[in-house]
Amino acid sequence: MITIKSKSEIELMKEACKLTGLLYKELEKHIKPGISTYELDKIAEKFMRAHGASPAQKGYNPEIKGVPPFPCAICASINDEVIHGIPSKRAILKEGDILSIDTVVYKNGFNGDAARTFIVGKSKSKEDERLLEITKQAFFEGIKYAIKGNRVGDISHAIGQFVEKNGYSVVREFQGHGIGRQMHEDPGIPNYGKAGKGARLEPGMTLAIEPMVIMGKPDILELDDGWTIITEDGTPAAHYENTILITEKEPEILTLL
């Protein structure tokens, strides 16, 4: 069921989303060679709780047999890890690593969801830099169509076409989603698809749009931890996400400061 948020609910949700954006500004200060993803996770959780919020994904239970609840406040995925990487003391960032962080901040009964990809220190290549640029731009290409009266498929189609036109692949097994009181709500928002298909967009809908882009082929694998998704061909991946609000006019990006 798609939920349309009231004006008062949107105001509460904006607080959670603003805090999500502020969290990335804080994390960016600490993303340097030599720090572990475990340390970044602790910084993130401390920041959230200091601002009266909590990490929505910590303890998240996918209700899949044999898969434990997610143990951390952030997902931290390095290089060929696409999404859902589990922070670890052994995962020490190195110069030129590609680090994707995805997190959901819960405050006032609502969730703010965003993901960012960083190059640690100096990049190894212009190719890595371009991967990040195309992934980010894919989000903005998609939300050009996130307007009243359009359909979810219009967003999906725009993202997929842009990524593939630039020689990269989108992940097809995972997608964006509605968001609000729950971290994952309807509708699902794939990063590929046909224009004119899917749910119609209405003012008051809040959506997490999140291109997940692979430099090489689209095939992915899941590690034995039940969470971490990697590229099958070992090429790097990037992830960029914001929570947006459908309005009477242009979409409003709630997690971008």
Per residue in 105-123, pLDDT (tens digit) is 999 999 999 999 999 999 9
pLDDT class for 250, splitting at 50, 70, 90? very high
Helices 37-50, 7-30: crossing angle, 10 deg rounding: 140
pTM: predicted TM-score of the whole model, two decimal places: 0.97
List, for residues 57-104, the tens digit of each pLDDT value. Answer: 999 988 887 889 999 999 999 999 999 999 999 999 999 999 999 999
**Residue 25, class by beta-carbon neighbours within 10 Å (0-12 exposed, 13-18 middle, 19+ buried)?**
exposed
Considering only CA atoms, which of 106, 128, 107, 110 is closest in space to residue 119? Answer: 128
Q: Could you give the CA distance from residue 182 to residue 129 in angstroms, rounded to a whole number?
A: 34
Domains of the chain: 7-253 (3.90.230.10)
pLDDT at 146 over 90: yes
The pLDDT value given to residue 62: 80
**How far is residue 56's CA from residue 73's CA, in Å, rounded to a whole number?**
7
Model confidence pLDDT, tens digit, residues 180-199: 999 999 999 999 999 999 99
CA distance 169 to 224: 24
Instruction: Give residue 66's pLDDT.
Output: 83
Alpha carbon distance 107, 19 (integer Å) = 9
Amino acid 65: pLDDT: 79
Q: Is 162 left (phi over 0), alpha (psi -120 to 50) or beta?
A: alpha
Alpha helices, DSSP H, located in the chain: 7-30, 37-50, 126-143, 152-165
Q: By C-alpha distance, which of 183, 251, 169, 253 is closest to 211? A: 169
Who contacts 253 (Cβ-Cβ below 8 Å, separation ≥6)? 143, 242, 243, 244
Q: What is the pLDDT of residues 3-47, one digit of tens each?
A: 999 999 999 999 999 999 999 999 999 999 999 999 999 999 999
Q: Which amino acid is at 53?
A: A
Q: Given this model, what pLDDT does residue 64 score? A: 80
Q: Which amino acid is at 4?
A: I
Instruction: Report pLDDT for 210.
Output: 98
Q: What is the rounded distance in angstroms from the CA atom of residue 54 to the CA atom of residue 45?
A: 7
**Helix, coil or strand: residue 21:** helix
pLDDT for residue 227: 96
